[in-house]
Amino acid sequence: MKEFIKKLTNSLDTTSNGFSGRKLTALASIIIAAYVTYQLPADAKLYALYSWQALALLCLGIVTVEQVIKLKNGGKDEVPAK
């Protein structure tokens, strides 16, 4: 437990001794998403859950900004010419 707290506090500086900031943000967004879904009215729960989970996926790199732009513009996967 002491090592976990040490790595968590080391995440706040610029060294590589701590956890990744993107992973910490993704973890926090999933925890907030779970909490928010119980606190909001029924008609707003789904939208809040989607937005927090989108942030988590973006932070983990599962969905990158480049992929979002390609999806928005209707880009297709192109095969490089030989």
Q: Is residue 40 part of a domain?
A: yes
Q: Is residue 58 part of a domain?
A: yes
Q: Is residue 11 part of a domain?
A: no
The yes-or-no verdict on residue 79 having pLDDT over 70 is no
Q: Is residue 64 part of a domain?
A: yes
Boundaries of domain holding 56: 20-73
Number of H helices, E strands in the chain: 4, 0
Task: Establish if 9 belongs to a structural domain.
Answer: no
Residue 4 lies in a domain: no
- pLDDT at residue 60, rounded to an integer: 79
Write down the pLDDT at residue 16.
79
**This prediction's pTM:** 0.56
Domain tally, the chain: 1
Q: Is 8 among the domain residues?
A: no
Q: How confident is the model at residue 76 (pLDDT cuts 50, 70, 90)?
A: low
